Structure 1
Amino acid sequence: MNKLLTLILKGLVAVLPLGLTIYFIYWFVSSLEAVLQPVIPEQYYFSGMGLLAGLVSLLLIGLVINLYGIRWLIGLGNKVLIKIPLVKSIYGAIQDIITVFNLSRDSDMQSVVSVDVGNEMRVIGFITGEKTGQRLFPQDDRIGVYIPLSYQIGGHTVYVHRDKLTPLDIGVEEAMRLALTAGAKADKPES
């Protein structure tokens, strides 16, 4: 019975990521189509117009967000949302997820380092703020390093002495993938 359950779980782990990705894309496209179909006259409507309209809408939103007044309104909306108890938790979690996945595009992210934590152990970290470390600890040569936690969204920002850091010759995306998956995928042989 345990062997059967193990095989079922292995199958689920193999199928779930792809299945959820395909379902999300299907849900997104069909939702856009369902919203657009009753609005557009039948002679102008064609299948796939919802997806096209969604992409154009996202492009326009991206352009509009760069306007000063809109950024101010978004900032005001953020301030309001983080004051509502339950909404604050959900909204904050979504923002944290987006931040983690955008770390490789963050201009403040300077390099990937190995942090010596003692006892011959090292963890992967990302330099996020040399100036902040100097401002907070002016007497020390400390640097802000973000250390992500494996298998979850989150991490710690620690301020460590520069001599405890060793630059790693890998990209931010690869390092983040290694840290978030605890290096599990990197150890699997290619088949």
Structure 2
Amino acid sequence: MKRTLWRGILTITPLVISVWLFWSIAITLDNLGQTVLSLVGVHNPWGGTGFLLILIAVLVVGLALSVRPFQWFFRRLEEQVMRFPLIKTVYGAVKDMASLISQGEGKSKARQTVLVRQANDNYVVGFITSETLPRPLADALPGDEGEDWVPVLFQVSYQIAGMTVLVRRSDLIEVDWSFDEALKFMVTAGIARGVEPGKLGQRLGSTTP
């Protein structure tokens, strides 16, 4: 009985939390939109009007930012906001995380899942986050001028944070594993397995000297 109860709780809890989270966001946006409507003299609109207004506003902003003058204006606005240290830290972190998540799957090999071999013959799962390095880093790294270094992100389990390491591409083992599945595996420390059994083991076995 106790085991069955726990199984039910663990099964339904993620669904309940997800629905509650998205519902809370929708209610918050609806209240915000209705506040805006009340400022222009529209009171007690039908339910969902505020949410629809915010959705339309977001679409309009997205369309506007596809035009160069609006892009220039937004960049100038960002520059002014970044002058405040606290806002710069929070805004910059959120923007960088959003950029990582929204990065297109078809952009070169960015977000490629790789394995990095450690000194004790262990392997760490990581992601290539960019195909190029900033010039100061490229100039400071050892090796030939044309040697291919890439930034690799090692995600920390149960945290949003991670560690970025610069690795020679020749030292990487590319894995045919999607970013979403690999990220789920890393964030949950392997508890949520997003890979077919033995897939990583077969890949490692094929690279063992």
Do the structures match in fold with TM over 0.5? yes
Give the ranges of 4+ consecutive aligned residues of structure 1 lying more than 6 Å apart after TM superposition.
Answer: none
Q: Measure, in 1, the Cα distance between the counterparts of 2:132 and 2:167.
A: 13
Gaps of 5+ in 1: 1-6
Q: Measure, in 2, the Cα distance between the counterparts of 1:180 and 1:100.
A: 15
| Higher mean C-alpha displacement, 100-109 vs 46-55 | 100-109
Q: Note if contact 2:157-2:186 (Cα within 8 Å) is conserved in structure 1.
A: yes
Match of 1:25 in 2: 26
Q: Per-residue deviation at 1:178?
A: 2.3
> Does residue 196 of structure 2 align to residue 167 of structure 1?
no
Q: TM-score, normalised by structure 2?
A: 0.67
Q: Per-residue deviation at 1:40?
A: 6.1
Gaps of 5+ in 2: 1-5, 195-209
Count of paired positions: 177
Q: State, as a whole percentage, how many aligned pairs show the same letter.
A: 27
Q: Note if contact 1:130-1:143 (Cα within 8 Å) is conserved in structure 2.
A: yes
Q: Per-residue deviation at 1:112?
A: 1.4
Q: For 1:112, what is the secondary structure of its paired residue?
A: strand
> Does residue 54 of structure 2 align to residue 54 of structure 1?
yes
TM-align CA RMSD: 3.2
Q: Measure, in 2, the Cα distance between the counterparts of 1:40 and 1:106.
A: 47
Q: For 1:129, what is the secondary structure of its paired residue?
A: coil
Q: For 2:173, what is the secondary structure of its paired residue?
A: strand
Taking the TM superposition and a 5 Å limit, the aligned residue runs for 1:1-191 are 16-36=17-37, 39=40, 45-103=45-103, 105=105, 107=107, 109=110, 111-132=112-133, 135-136=138-139, 137=141, 139=144, 140-186=147-193
Q: TM-score, normalised by structure 1?
A: 0.73
Q: For 2:193, what is the secondary structure of its paired residue?
A: helix
Q: For 1:152, what is the secondary structure of its paired residue?
A: coil
